[in-house]
Amino acid sequence: MARETKKHLRETEKFKLDFLYKLQTLHGKELEEASNNDKYTALVGVLRDRISQNWVATNRDYSEKSRKQVYYFSMEFLLGKLLPMYLINMGVHDVCRDALAELDIDIDKLTEAEPDAGLGNGGLGRLAACFMDSIAAMKLPGHGNGIRYRYGLFEQKIVDGHQVELPDNWLKDGYAWEYRRGDRATEVRFGGHVRTEATGNKLTFIHEGYEPVLAVPYDVPIIGHENNTVNTLRLWNAEPIEGEFDLPTFNRGDYLKAVEYKHSVERISKILYPEDNFYEGRLLRLKQQYFFVSAGIQSIIRRFKKRRGPIRALPDRVTIHINDTHPAVAVPELMRILMDEEGLGWDDAWDITTRTVSYTNHTIMPEALEKWPVQMFKTLLPRIYMIVEEINERYCRRLWQRYPGNWDKIAQMAIIADEQVHMARLAVVGSFSVNGVAALHTDILKKHLFHHYYEDMPHKFNNKTNGITHRRWLLRANRGLAEVLTDTIGKSWVEHPEDLTNLLKYDSDASVQEKLKQVKLQNKEHLARHIKEKYDVLVDPASIFDVQIKRIHAYKRQLLNVLHVMDLYNRLKDNPDLDIVPRTFLFGGKAAPGYYLAKQIIKLINMLAYKINNDLSIKGKLKVVFLENYSVSLGEMVFPASDVSEQISTASKEASGTGNMKFMLNGAVTMGTMDGANVEIRNAVGDDNIFIFGLNSDQVIDFYRYGGYKSYDCYNNDKRIKLILDQLVNGYLPGGKDEFRPIFDSLLRDNDEFFVLKDFDDYATAQERLDQRFRDQGVWSKMSIHNIAHAGIFSSDRSIAEYAIGIWNVKPAEIPRL
Ligand SMILES: *Cc1c(COP(=O)(O)O)cnc(C)c1O
């Protein structure tokens, strides 16, 4: 017997015994009595035991060698399921699968028992998760810091075409991957007032009358890919402080106060706000921000001091990276700790802070920029507000020297202006690095949103184009494709995703093309079965699977896609023999519960789907399906089954996009605008392997600045557009006649803020080009291959390598196998 096989058998046998033993010790059950959930937790238990040694070894290495560490602060981590990914990263997938199979257990069934950790809304939260994976895979000392929301992003149900939101009770059976660390709990303080005392020539600030909150960390191990590294994602839970209000008096007032206190504290980590790219100035949200930031920095400083001494060395040993402005209070909070707790003076504290904090901007959309009313900020965080005021005064003083008399400019740059605290400005001023997330986005930051700061501090600005982990989005999600790739170009692409370019040699190789086509077909058949089972709609795996799956948002322009489907349908009704390649239009995505127009778009898609899918006269050439509850797990099924990737945001609005990269990596061809990372995708694959249409970002920005666009002109001058828009309001669609009036109004009365009608014609033409190209399967196959081959640069490993070298200055640490 071959040595490999022997080893496999031995390991499989061992795994089986470990699993049965764990089932017994954890649940006191034998296999026959165990539920699916029992088996799942037993399996995770086996893996936890195997992880723990490496976890300890990793932490010891970081401490003993005084490694510089990065802490990624993010309000969102959209992790999805960890089990299938960790089986791969730990190199035990096949052993585990075979061991369980011998016990008559299907490993995929166990995976279903794991809840998707949905602690994020969309791209920003998923990016944080991809980054965690890449940091560990690259053996870098880096950890996450966030909130352990009791309820993650709501679950979406479609009822009569409408979105209905259900609470995501993901912790109801416990979370097998978390470790509560009660001993590392820390206190976070809200409200009260600050008393200033002068002792000698030094002022001290005493925070009094505050409400204390206990922040308890729950640690989730982040496992590197076959490398022994185990980093930590620390998620904070808000709990009442024992004894604080349980006074010996049984006074009614005290009792009520005690209960109120408990509830007000627990609310802090109760829910994830469900808005994507949108800011709502809620007090509780600010409380969440300060809660996880303060707890995170306290734990970093505590750990730092235990091991490494002089606080002045902090920037050499620690970088705190803030994912968008949500954790921007990190700047004044670090200042507070350095001054009030470590006794440093302002200048030293400022020097340390501004060499420790780095910031990523994620959007230029005005409605997403965080600004807190001064009164609210000051009441909730009195000491922090004092520090922000001082930062602002000192910065403005510097600006007065640099731009004497230029009040306008200074007002535009001040951190506190119009009675509001501007968080993006605080983040720019308080950090040593400001990066955008795609080349175009960074250019727009320099030219527009942060133009004045760029002139003042050009050295801070840099680009780090987003990425996705190819391990989850290809190796795990599309095993069929991964196998063909490895058979064709060897397995080096797993370690070095740039090596996917080796596939280019085979772009016209009939046998490789055929294998890839078969894999795609299988993935489409799998999705088609899911659609049949779940929605009772038959879709043809031979049709083009044209997919737009992402948060529903006006700027992402699902509406442009829908209007085009309506137009195609109109043309087919006009001429049932119209020669088009059969297409299946798939949509998916959640709308924020309070975002009326976005919910109307979901309704519109579903009404249109109902009409089209039940119309026999078009001979099945068109199908439309709205896929419920877009999540990481659904994405893992959809990206591998896609032919066309719809990335059609209004140019300048999508900072990067990462869905675009997942599609590309799985061989889908992009239909897109010159926005975000689409620009870089186009540069990578070349014009022949992508469909680009529409206004570019300069044109869009000029329209916003100088006007000149009248959407009514498009309506009046283009018969197709007029027909479609009228169909929105003349009872053509099922549902009430006035159901879609608000959409109609947004396009005409409100002059179409996102240029849907302006780009319509160009989009429809590009879709025709695509239809023509798809007919030649050799050509299409080649396009698909070029997309896969050039997707390596969009691995988050590349992004993280750039962050590590260009911003964080962290280096890989080899963790020995124990
Ligand atoms: C990748 C991803 C996103 C981001 O998609 P975009 O198209 O870039 O907006 C959102 N949600 C989930 C679940 C994802 O996996």
pLDDT single digits (tens) 95-150: 999 999 999 999 999 999 999 999 999 999 999 999 999 999 999 999 999 999 99
Ramachandran sector of residue 673 (left: φ over 0; alpha: ψ -120 to 50; beta: rest): beta
Regarding whether 75 and 151 lie in a shared domain, the answer is yes
**Residue 104 counted as domain residue:** yes
For 638-673, the pLDDT digits (tens) are: 999 999 999 999 999 999 999 999 999 999 999 999
Q: Which of 78, 79, 121, 126 best tests ligand 1's pocket when mutated (most atoms within 8 Å of CB)?
A: 126
Q: Which atom of ligand 1 is nearest to the CA of 78?
A: 13
DSSP states of 59-79 = HHHHHHTT--EEEEE-S-EEE
Q: Which atom of ligand 1 is nearest to the CA of 647?
A: 7
Q: Is 3 exposed, middle or buried (0-12, 13-18, 19+ CB in 10 A)?
A: exposed
pLDDT of residue 522: 98
Inform me whether the pLDDT recorded for 250 exceeds 70. no
**Residue 552 counted as domain residue:** yes
Over range 727-739, report the average pLDDT. 93
Q: What is the mean pLDDT of the chain?
A: 97
Regarding whether 634 and 538 lie in a shared domain, the answer is yes
Question: Can you tell me which residue has the tokens 């022997």?
Answer: 6
Determine which residue's CA is closest to atom 1 belonging to ligand 1.
659
Q: Which of 586, 631, 644, 658 best tests ligand 1's pocket when mutated (most atoms within 8 Å of CB)?
A: 658
Q: Is 658 a catalytic residue?
A: yes
Determine which residue's CA is closest to atom 15 belonging to ligand 1.
632
- Taking alpha carbons only, the member of 776, 771, 780 closest to residue 688 is 780
Q: Are strands 77-80 and 117-119 parallel, antiparallel or unpaired?
A: antiparallel
pLDDT of residue 663: 99
Please tell me whether residue 468 adopts helix, strand or coil conformation.
strand
Q: How far is the CA of 648 from the centre of ligand 1 (A)?
A: 14
**Residue 540 counted as domain residue:** yes
Domain containing 661 equals: 473-488+499-695+763-794
**Residue 91 counted as domain residue:** no
Over range 258-286, report the average pLDDT. 95
Q: Is 557 a catalytic residue?
A: no
Q: Is 686 exposed, middle or buried (0-12, 13-18, 19+ CB in 10 A)?
A: exposed
**Residue 623 counted as domain residue:** yes
Over range 603-618, report the average pLDDT. 97
Q: How far apart are CA 279 and CA 370, in angstroms?
A: 6
Over range 15-27, report the average pLDDT. 97
Regarding whether 530 and 436 lie in a shared domain, the answer is no
Where are the strands (E) in 31-119, listed by range? 69-73, 77-80, 117-119
Over range 352-373, report the average pLDDT. 97
Q: How far is the CA of 204 from the centre of ligand 1 (A)?
A: 47
Which residue type is seen at 444?
I
Q: How far is the CA of 479 from the centre of ligand 1 (A)?
A: 20
Inform me whether the pLDDT recorded for 533 exceeds 80. yes
**Residue 445 counted as domain residue:** yes
Inform me whether the pLDDT recorded for 244 exceeds 90. no
Q: How far apart are CA 515 and CA 493, in angstroms?
A: 18
How many angstroms separate the first and last alpha carbons of the chain? 28
pLDDT of residue 4: 84
pLDDT of residue 462: 99
pLDDT of residue 817: 85
Over range 258-287, report the average pLDDT. 95
Sign of the alpha-carbon dihedral angle for 535, 77, 472, 466: positive
Inform me whether the pLDDT recorded for 558 exceeds 90. yes
Determine which residue's CA is closest to atom 7 belonging to ligand 1.
659
When pLDDT is cut at 50, 70 and 90, the band that residue 542 belongs to is very high
Inform me whether the pLDDT recorded for 256 exceeds 90. no
Inform me whether the pLDDT recorded for 248 exceeds 80. no
Where are the strands (E) in 209-290, listed by range? 211-223, 230-239
Q: Are strands 669-672 and 691-692 parallel, antiparallel or unpaired?
A: parallel
pLDDT of residue 251: 66
Q: How far is the CA of 124 from the centre of ligand 1 (A)?
A: 8
pTM, two decimals, is 0.98
Q: Which atom of ligand 1 is nearest to the CA of 631?
A: 13
For 34-91, the pLDDT digits (tens) are: 999 999 999 999 999 999 999 999 999 999 999 999 999 999 999 999 999 999 999 9
Give the distance from CA 364 to its chain's centroid.
Answer: 17
Q: Which of 304-318, 394-408, 466-480, 794-808 is the least confident region? A: 304-318
In this structure, are residues 322 and 72 in contact, taking their beta carbons and an 8 Å threshold?
Answer: no
Report the number of distinct structural domains present in the chain: 3
**Residue 319 counted as domain residue:** yes
Q: How far apart are CA 104 and CA 39, in angstroms?
A: 12
Q: Is 550 a catalytic residue?
A: yes
pLDDT of residue 307: 77
In this structure, are residues 667 and 516 in contact, taking their beta carbons and an 8 Å threshold?
Answer: yes
Q: Which of 81, 551, 590 best tests ligand 1's pocket when mutated (most atoms within 8 Å of CB)?
A: 551
Residue 628 DSSP class: S
Regarding whether 517 and 452 lie in a shared domain, the answer is no
Q: Which of 77, 550, 654 best tests ligand 1's pocket when mutated (most atoms within 8 Å of CB)?
A: 550
Regarding whether 22 and 127 lie in a shared domain, the answer is no
Regarding whether 322 and 312 lie in a shared domain, the answer is yes
Regarding whether 302 and 239 lie in a shared domain, the answer is yes
Determine which residue's CA is closest to atom 12 belonging to ligand 1.
122
Regarding whether 320 and 199 lie in a shared domain, the answer is yes
Q: Which atom of ligand 1 is nearest to the CA of 635?
A: 15
Regarding whether 479 and 437 lie in a shared domain, the answer is no
Inform me whether the pLDDT recorded for 461 exceeds 50. yes
In this structure, are residues 290 and 333 in contact, taking their beta carbons and an 8 Å threshold?
Answer: yes
When pLDDT is cut at 50, 70 and 90, the band that residue 247 belongs to is very low
Regarding whether 154 and 111 lie in a shared domain, the answer is no
CATH number at residue 188: 3.40.50.2000
pLDDT of residue 201: 83
**Residue 456 counted as domain residue:** yes
Dmax over CA atoms of the chain, in Å, equals 92
Regarding whether 398 and 347 lie in a shared domain, the answer is yes
Sign of the alpha-carbon dihedral angle for 268, 269, 271, 273: positive
Regarding whether 508 and 444 lie in a shared domain, the answer is no
Q: Which atom of ligand 1 is nearest to the CA of 80?
A: 13
Inform me whether the pLDDT recorded for 718 exceeds 60. yes
Q: How far is the CA of 658 from the centre of ligand 1 (A)?
A: 6
Query: Higher model confidence: residue 199 or residue 526?
Result: 526
Which residues neighbour 527 within 8 Å (Cβ) at sequence distance 6 or greater? 545, 637, 638, 641
Q: How far is the CA of 557 from the centre of ligand 1 (A)?
A: 15
Q: How would you label 227-260 residue by residue, b for 16+ Cβ within 10 Å and e otherwise?
A: bbbbbbbbbbbbbbeeeeeeeeeeeeeeeeeeee
Determine which residue's CA is closest to atom 5 belonging to ligand 1.
659
High-pLDDT (> 70) share of the chain, %: 99
Q: How far is the CA of 78 from the centre of ligand 1 (A)?
A: 10
Q: How far apart are CA 754 and CA 760, in angstroms?
A: 11
Output the 3-class SS for 293-311.
HHHHHHHHHHHHHHHHCCH
Over range 201-224, report the average pLDDT. 96
Q: Which atom of ligand 1 is nearest to the CA of 657?
A: 8
Active-site residue, from 658, 673, 782, 786:
658
Q: How far apart are CA 606 and CA 613, in angstroms?
A: 10
Question: Can you tell me which residue has the tokens 């003993």?
Answer: 64
